[in-house]
Amino acid sequence: MTSKPQHLNPLSIVYFIFRHFWDTILLLIIGSGPITRWSTAIGIDPVIGFSALAVLIILWHTIRYLCLTFEIGKDMLTINSGILVKRHSHILYTRIQTIQHTQWFFLVPFHLEKLQIETAGHDDHSPEAVLPIVNERIRTEIEYQRNGDSAPAADSTDHLAKQLKPSVQQAEYEINSHELTVFALTSLGVFPIIGAGFAVYGKIQEAIPQKLIDSLTAKLIHQSAVILGVIGLLIVIISIAGSYLTIIQKYYKFRLNSTNTQLNTEQGLFQRNSVTIPIARIQALRIKQNVIRQWCHISTVQALAASSAGDDEKSNDLMILPVVKNDQVFATLQPFVSWAPTQFSELNRLARGSYWYFIRNASLISLVIVLPCLYFFKIWGLLSLLVVIITILMGWYSAANTGWKIVNDQLILQDGHFFTRSQYVIPHKNIQSFLFVQSIWMTHTKLAHVRVNVRHGNGNQLIEIRYLPEAVGRQIFDWLKIR
């Protein structure tokens, strides 16, 4: 059975236009001169010329919309696209790995959403199938065919949703308002925003006429410190509020549930983003804590999956638990990922003597910033010495948070970067490649590095434990060689 070709929703034309917004702006900039000269030459208003170009752009995307169709067959999904060069993509339901759908709040009343489908043979940075704006019924029909059920009536969306609900739901988790607030308030994402805020303030100062600045300075010379303090405080407050609201809207009503062999996440206030992925595609678990969350004894759990589906379009990291207490991580995680450990294991740590190597490396990198500042800014360049102090702390943090352990058939590795600790739980069978690295100088100190690669998105995740004792490194390497 093959269904008739179906078009996207007509609103897809608007989607195509906005998706290529910057291309359109560039075209208008390049064409502004020729259009103006051509319009003047034939004696018409240039506005008419630009209007004609806008009509051509809309017409192009309309033709693109008309040429893009899809067919939901019995065994496969077929997508037909292309204007000058026709392309036919056939996606077998048995090969579908992840289905991701996003829905903006203004599309909810119309039951419209964006649908992305990825298969097992995927090797690009974008999904095989992207249906920008389709009815929710389309996803449900694809799920029916994927699960091997008979196709239901095409005009009954509610009936489809009810029939598609699994009979047995193994586990379910939903973040509460208190957890979400703690998660947002303990984010380090506020610091880049603060930096951007001060940069914008500096640009605003440059834009203000010097005479006005001199006049205000003369009047407020005695209050300048107070005013600068207030401005700095306002920038910090606005940055914290911006970071807080960004995280709140992104992970609003975050839900995680598992059904049979599938894991499903759903999140977002203005745009609901839902990802369905087979549990078998999860290659490793990452338990992250920035330094603030370490003090608060809370963690974030992400999945490294062999899929490009993530909690946003720019990341392949699939969020599983945004925030959970340290002593409850694996107890909360176990119902969703059966191979996860039942409890935290005390990791093996580096000897204090090895901390020096991390601090040395971090300090040397800081010289790239410090030396030019001292050369060009003289006395003021001394302020850059703060960078040395920060990098020393980062080196010490990295060394103090390095750990490893072999538990049953799993390798647990932990590292620290930029004041964020990451612990990886990796099943032996999911390790793609591994290296034992030892330089000439390290042979004298009896130290080594161990590098492990696991699949992550459409590439790999490199996990490296540095400056291990040589005997420990060889022990891990020998364990990794067992197949």
Q: Are residues 132 and 279 in the same domain?
A: no
Checking if the pLDDT of 193 tops 70, the result is: no
Q: Coil, helix or strand for 412? A: strand
Please say which residue of 202, 222, 250 terminates a domain: 250
Is there a single domain that holds both residue 47 and residue 64?
yes
Looking at the fold, whether 344 and 357 belong to one and the same domain comes out as no
What is the reported pLDDT for 160? 47
DSSP character string of 142-206: HHHHHTTPPP--TT-HHHHHHHHS-S---EEEE--HHHHHHHHHT-TTHHHHHHHHHHHHHHHHH
Tell me the average pLDDT across 360-384.
84
> What is the CB neighbour count within 10 angstroms for residue 331?
13
* Percent of the chain topping pLDDT 90: 26
The answer to whether residues 380 and 338 belong to one domain is no
Clarify whether residues 320 and 443 are in a common domain.
Answer: yes
DSSP, residue by residue, 19-88: HTHHHHHHHHHHHHHHHHHHHHHHT--HHHHHHHHHHHHHHHHHHHHHH-EEEE-SSEEEEEE-SSS-EE
Summarised one tens digit per residue, pLDDT across range 112-160 is 999 988 876 555 556 778 899 999 999 889 888 877 655 554 444 454 4
Identify the band that residue 45 occupies on the pLDDT scale cut at 50, 70 and 90: confident
Same-domain pairing of 274 and 406: yes
Q: What is the rounded average pLDDT of the residues 254-268?
A: 88
Answer whether residue 106 is part of any domain.
Answer: yes
pTM: 0.81
Distance between CA atoms of 38 and 33, rounded to whole angstroms?
9
Give pLDDT, residue 154: 47
Length of the chain: 483
In-domain check, residue 87: yes
The residue from 113, 133, 164 where one domain ends is 164
User: Range of 275's domain?
Assistant: 255-350+402-481
106 by Cβ neighbours in 10 Å (0-12 / 13-18 / 19+) ranks as exposed
What confidence category does residue 411 fall into, taking pLDDT thresholds of 50, 70 and 90?
A: very high
Residue 424 and residue 341 share a domain: yes
What's the total number of domains in the chain? Answer: 4
Q: pLDDT at position 188, please?
A: 77
Contact between 116 and 129 (Cβ < 8 Å): yes
With 80 as the cut, is the pLDDT of residue 387 above it? yes
What does the pLDDT average to over 149-177?
A: 60
Position 436 in a domain = yes
pLDDT for the residue 164: 46
Whether residue 169 is contained in a domain is answered as no
Residue that is last in its domain, among 398, 416, 432: 398
Whether residue 428 sits in one domain with residue 312: yes
Residue 99 pLDDT exceeds 60: yes
CB 263 within 8 A of CB 274: no
| Same domain, residue pair 63 and 146 | yes
Same domain for 85 and 194?
A: no
| pLDDT tens digits along 433-445 | 999 998 888 888 8
Mean pLDDT of the chain: 82
Q: What DSSP element (H or E) covers 296?
A: helix 291-296
Kindly indicate the confidence band of residue 202, based on its pLDDT and cuts at 50, 70 and 90: low
Give the integer Cα–Cα distance in Å for 422 and 424.
7
More confident residue, 283 or 163: 283
